[in-house]
């Protein structure tokens, strides 16, 4: 038997529309983000979820709260599920970086692993901690397990677990939708992707 992880990105934030990098910054949810969290809480009521894990950041904890109430579970906060720290890009857009430091923007677009933003957490380190956190959760729980975390952290972790080159995370996994489900199954110590960006129709 395997363990299923239901990976969910937090709800929409006030920086979403402008595509600003939130990273380690604390950014509020929009009204739509709160509605997405509410709908997530309703959707998981039909699933046999046995545990709920969450990033320590406020946008993830607020997104997880309705699901926690529905399921009667206390979220387990895991620090390694926090979003990647983006250094100089915190609160900024890629176009703003292009205007200030076009070479830094070019390096990142060409290869986000070797071209990490100045002052940012290296992508390889974020991928290792995220993949390790998800593997540890799968080893500890029978599942299904709801995990609420972040766009870049989850995409890097998925690449690390599925053998996708990290430099390709932005093209192979261009983005996880807010409050959608990406279903990952761990079986025999290996991870397999069951669904990506699915609606909450998983059974």
Contact indicator for 108, 116 with CB cutoff of 8 Å: yes
Task: Give me the pLDDT at residue 200, please.
Answer: 64
* Catalytic machinery residues: 10, 83
pLDDT of residue 202: 47
Among 10, 3, 52, residue whose Cα is nearest residue 194: 3
Question: How many domains does one find in the chain?
Answer: 1
Q: Does the reported pTM lie above 0.75? A: yes
Binding positions:
59
Range of the domain at 159: 3-198
Query: Is residue 203 assigned to a domain?
Result: no
Query: Which residues, at least 6 apart from 109, have a Cβ–Cβ distance to it below 8 Å?
Result: 94, 115
What CATH code is carried by the domain that includes residue 63? 3.40.50.1240
Question: What is the reported pLDDT for 201?
Answer: 53
Burial of 84: CB neighbours in 10 Å, binned 0-12, 13-18, 19+:
buried
The residue ranges of the chain whose pLDDT is under 50 are 202-203
């Amino acid at each position: 038997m395997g363990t299923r992880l239901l990976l969910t990105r937090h709800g929409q934030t006030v920086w979403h529309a402008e595509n600003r990098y939130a990273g380690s910054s604390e950014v509020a949810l929009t009204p739509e983000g709160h509605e997405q969290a509410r709908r997530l809480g309703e959707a998981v009521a039909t699933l046999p979820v046995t545990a709920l894990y969450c990033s320590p950041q406020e946008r993830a904890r607020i997104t997880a709260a309705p699901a926690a109430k529905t399921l009667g579970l206390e979220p387990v906060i895991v620090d390694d599920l926090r979003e990647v720290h983006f250094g100089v890009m915190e609160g900024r857009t890629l176009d703003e970086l292009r205007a200030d430091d076009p070479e830094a923007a070019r390096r990142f677009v060409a290869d986000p692993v070797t071209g990490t933003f100045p002052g940012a957490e290296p992508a390889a380190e974020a991928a290792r901690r995220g993949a390790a956190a998800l593997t540890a959760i799968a080893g500890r729980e029978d599942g299904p397990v709801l995990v609420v975390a972040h766009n870049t952290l989850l995409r890097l972790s998925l690449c690390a677990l599925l053998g996708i080159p990290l430099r390709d995370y932005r093209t192979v996994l261009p983005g996880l939708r807010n409050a959608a489900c990406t279903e990952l199954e761990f079986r025999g110590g290996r991870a397999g992707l069951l669904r990506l960006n699915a609606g909450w129709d998983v059974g």
